[in-house]
Structure 1
């Protein structure tokens, strides 16, 4: 036990007192590192996902200008997605102001649209968060696989190991995890900015290598349809995943928490938009195609910096920074999801143990549970990003739609100053995010999006059942103060004993000291009547020598079932006494080694389980610790 405690302290750190809560809260700088990697990291694969759709329009041997014209649609999609990002900022900024205790889409759905809307948003958020861990780590491993072949050959193993590392970092506390991830977050931002600067310098030095899409060229693209564009737009919207994390975790910010959360959200949207434009622009002007084995950012780095000397070193650095941001993007989920679960638990829609903060003042139960679910998804889908994205997209954009729909309902209800302008912008945001959600659902239905349609209603029913259970508990436990309190004089205390030994005498002494009308019960078993009579005579002689003054009842069991015979005796006493007036005092000896437990029968445990699960009698266990 001491070894396990020492290991826990080494992995997690010393316990923190409740009054130290203020010291683990974060500001905008650490907030960017803790809550934005999910959104920022999506820049690493969002353009890839758009080009995946456009790949069907690019033929072998196509001229570079024609390729650029096709990729021009990804630039158009990027512009629309950035517009949507700023609409989401307006929506989540208001959500943060109205719901400073966190909860995001769940809280606004629950309070402004109705219980089913709120719970369905919570369900999709949970799906999105668990997929964030699986997708981010898988994409991170994919990003570094071209540079480190050993990682590429053992992708699943590295996915599991990295997920566990992030779990332990988060168990150490919000402040420490933020401090760990700050350098990696800003390194990635710096690398993408460096890529943009390098591409700009290259364009000035070699303008002949740059191809800009033209309106006429894009119009002449064969096979481009509205449906295909919407499918591309929906895939590219994966760049917005994680935006809601800030609104779910407002309480982790330093005071004034609302202002700091809103500033963090604005910094996220501005940074995300800039990085997304850089990645999409560089890919378009250089005509870089989608390659399932080589991520687009790696292609861009090779194009801009080259594949030898210092240039290649910068390329490797960009790939490693991309891997790091993709992996720590999972940290957004480890911050947001346990916080969401705690908010739901406070409302009665999740188990109460989700409210518990561990030694390091984080929701450790939620962190461990999220790790378990995410590892199941990672293993089940073999850490394949393309197989996980369909589930991801539907979940994310449903929550975006609910968030903005809730704000739409609030604006119509409250009609504050300037509400009409905000109403139009919010309605446009609902339309765009709803369109992306529907497109994901339709186009990727058979690829796995159908799982969301199955899981979300089941989760909503589960949440409602939990709330019903907690409500019933409150009703059952509510005391009727109109009835006078009085202690009952009639009752019985039963002490089952296996023999006259230290453990049973210890329990008997406790019963006599604390209760009235105590009786001891012993069950005799044997292969013959003579053997049973001999055992009866022996226990009665020992009982007489004990001289306890307590009546002993000896019961013969013809079927050699001690626990069942004791159960029948309790049921017999229940005919004379009400359950609240019967107390069972069970002797229990504690072994020194875990394997010693395997050497003893479980009569006491079976009786205890039966009493607790089936009867309303009071049960007391009196332990006796063995010395060796």
Structure 2
């Protein structure tokens, strides 16, 4: 089986460029692909709030509902704001495009870096939370958290390398199963609470004052932790071009659907955690959602369906990043802010470099933080809220500059969004700084600096490569130097090729003794290939140094009148291990000469039979 056959078996048949339209998403497929991150956050959003409140005591749990309401209000603001982003920038790119065009390229890079960091952390957090759902139901899996997480991560890489359409078909069912399970759970729990049946043991109340022992700092920490439920909503605006036509309309409908589902499920789970008097597990092996499901349905069949659906959606939540990261990195690469290879599509029309890079970075995070969700959360969401803020500020400037119909209303909406998300960024940086947020705060400007250097490099290369169309092509003669190790068919083939290029051909041979040099000159004269031979005796038994010195003398002799070309005779073997036995000197010569400004280095291959 050939390598191409193996590749086709793993990734599927190559797709033509014209088939790109078939890879675009209808609404029913876009929801699971682009919204699974935000939807899945209900599996740990409430838990993060309770974990922070638990530091001062269970009496503070009643504040989880006001915090959840504040987060739902934030979700509503962002949904409205990003619907406006879709209208203004239907070409995709989201916060990066808005910041770049309205605030300048430097701010665009900052928005892009912030989102790329968030996408990477989304994969790590989602996968680790998904594994936690497994350990909640099956405690025997606890020692294998990291291997399971890595397995899930690279399954996602594989599915996305197969293309958007195929991954959407696979991921749609688990996402809709999770939505169904969560709506049933919220419905059952609210029925138990309102009727006083089931295991509801605690009255749900909204506090009216701040009790002793609970500070605003703790409340802000709980709010910032719960804001993990907001991440992912921007992915739809980043991927508008990947929607079926009418793309903007379908993207806005998907955004609205996501907002409604997120508010209902997240708010419902938070209310149920108080109604069922759920306390977060201090060992970190049982999730709050698992305990809510157990209180509502017991450890029966539907409980395990919920856990299975939760594991699936949390794993698939990473899929939002596997769509967002490659798309954003391709747009940034087209703007010369990332390596150009990130803009290339693979055989399946997927951005392979972005997908694989994301898989590697997420795997590193999972290994370093040992797959612990609570350790990764402090790093999470700063990037996405920073990009939220820049997108909103950029839109305010756009509306004020364009003054299109309804610009004042749009500017107010985005202005409110900018103020709220900036407050969230500040809260995150202060409350989560010591817990790991400092890592993101340091890495972000470093990455912006790196992207700036990449952009300057591309600009410099473009400036040096620019050609005036009226400029004539210079005619330059060449002197061909052929390093040889003896007289054989590879040398014969190389000389024949060299004589077709130029009449100025020189063969160069390094001997280790005068006797060897004389013998080589006699054989060359007897063979008489019509090419001058230069023999140098190397007293220190080195091949490379005499050749480099000879090339240097030739450069000084001919100056700019003639170009030096070095042709390396090289025979090609068909078995991979044979390659280790030959051509090592040619490899070293090529490596050294490629750094010389005015020397052309080329290989003349000679293929052996086996």
- Compute the TM-score of the two structures, normalised by the length of structure 1: 0.93
Equivalence for 2:384: 396
- Where structure 1 has 5 or more consecutive residues not aligned to the other structure, the ranges are 60-66, 526-531
Inter-CA distance 604–384: structure 2 relative to 1 (3 Å threshold): same
1:63 alignment counterpart:
none
Task: Give, in whole Å, the separation in 2 of the partners of 1:13 and 1:201.
Answer: 48
What is residue 11 of structure 1 aligned with on the other side? 10
Would the aligned equivalents of 2:221 and 2:432 in 1 still touch at CA under 8 Å?
A: no
Residue 482 of structure 2 contacts residue 508 of structure 2 at CA under 8 Å; is this kept in 1? Answer: yes
Runs of 4+ in 1 over 4 A off after TM superposition: none
Q: Match for residue 500 of structure 2?
A: 513
Alpha-carbon offset, residue 544 of structure 1: 2.8
SS in 2 for 1:522: strand
Residue 6 of structure 1 and its aligned partner are, at CA, apart by 3.0
Aligned to 2:259: 269
Q: Hey, what's the Cα distance between the residues in 2 that align with 1:459 and 1:145?
A: 35
- C-alpha distance 289-218 of structure 1, shift in aligned 2 (>3 A): farther
RMSD: 1.8
CA shift for structure 1 position 625: 1.9
Do 2:511 and 2:517's aligned partners in 1 also have CA atoms closer than 8 Å?
yes
Q: Does 1:626 align with 2:604?
A: no
Is the contact between residue 48 and residue 295 of structure 1 (CA under 8 Å) also seen in structure 2?
yes
> Could you tell me how far apart the structure 1 residues matched to 2:472 and 2:407 are?
57
Q: Does 1:524 align with 2:516?
A: no
How many Å apart are 1:252 and its aligned residue?
1.6
Residue 301 of structure 1 is aligned with which of 282, 293, 310? Answer: 293
Q: CA deviation at 1:276?
A: 0.9
1:565 partnered with 2:546: yes
Cα shift readout 1:535-569 (whole Å, capped 9, x = no counterpart)? 22332233234332111111111221111211111
- Aligned equivalents of 1:577, 1:341: Cα separation in 2: 47
Counterpart residue number, 1:355 = 343
Q: Against the structure 1 CA distance between its residues 491 and 599, is the aligned structure 2 distance closer, same or farther, given a 3 Å change threshold?
A: closer
Alignment of 1:431-510 (within 5 A): 431-481=419-469, 483-488=471-476, 490-510=477-497
Give yes or no for the alignment of 1:46 onto 2:28. no
CA 179–557 in structure 1, closer or farther in 2 if over 3 Å, else same: same
Secondary structure at the residue paired with 2:595? helix
Q: Is it true that 1:336 corresponds to 2:324 in the alignment?
A: yes
Describe the SS at the equivalent of 2:401. Answer: helix
- Per-residue CA deviations over 1:124-144 (Å, capped at 9, x if unaligned) read 111111111111100000011
1:167 and 2:148 matched: no
Tell me how far apart the structure 1 counterparts of residues 61 and 399 of structure 2 sit (CA, whole Å).
39
8 Å CA contact 1:91–1:407 kept in 2: the answer is no
* 1:576 CA displacement: 2.4
Shift of 1:578: 4.4
Pairwise mapping of residues 205-244 of structure 1 onto structure 2 (< 5 A)? 205-206=195-196, 209=200, 211-215=202-206, 217-219=207-209, 221-244=211-234
Q: Structure 1: how far apart are the matches of 2:436 and 2:452?
A: 26
* 1:542–1:20 CA distance, 2 compared to 1 (3 A): farther
What is the CA distance between 1:364 and its match in structure 2? Answer: 0.5
Question: Which deviates more from structure 2 when the two are superposed, residues 259-268 or residues 470-479?
Answer: 259-268
Which residue, 553, 556, 575 being the options, matches 1:575? Answer: 556
CA distance in 2, matches of 1:96, 1:516: 64
CA contact (8 A) 1:397 1:437 kept: yes
Aligned ranges for residues 276-425 of structure 1 at < 5 Å? 276-291=266-281, 292-307=284-299, 312-425=300-413
Aligned position for 2:247: 257
Equivalent pair of 1:72/1:218 in contact (CA under 8 Å)? no
**Equivalent residue of 1:358, what SS?**
coil
Change over 3 Å in CA distance of 1:547–1:171 after alignment to 2: same
- Deviation for aligned residue 1:584: 1.3
Q: Is the partner of 1:499 in helix, strand or coil?
A: coil
How far 1:207 sits from its partner (Å)?
Answer: 5.1
Matched, 1:25 2:24: yes
Q: Which residue in 2 is equivalent to 1:64?
A: none
How far is 1:360 from its partner? 0.5
* Cα distance between partner residues in 2 of 1:452 and 1:253: 32
Question: Is residue 168 of structure 2 the alignment partner of residue 187 of structure 1?
Answer: no
Shift of 1:3: 4.5
Q: Match of 1:219, SS? A: coil
Aligned CA distance change for structure 1 residues 72 and 417 (closer, same or farther; 3 Å) = farther
Aligned length: 606
User: How far apart, CA to CA, are the structure 1 residues paired with 2:237 and 2:129?
Assistant: 25
2:111·2:386 contact (CA, 8 Å) conserved in 1? yes
User: 1:367-416: per-residue Cα shift (whole Å, max 9, x none)?
Assistant: 11111111111111111111111111211211111111211222222233
Structure 1 residue 593: Cα displacement = 2.4
Tell me if structure 1 keeps the 8 A contact 2:139–2:285. no
Distance in 2 (alpha carbons) for counterparts of 1:155 and 1:32? 28
Q: 1:57·1:222 contact (CA, 8 Å) conserved in 2?
A: no
Q: Report the Cα offset of residue 485 of structure 1.
A: 2.8
- Cα separation, partners in 2 of 1:113 and 1:486, compared to 1, 3 Å: closer
TM-aligned CA deviation for residue 470 of structure 1? 0.5
Give the stretch that moved more between structures: 136-145 or 437-446. 437-446
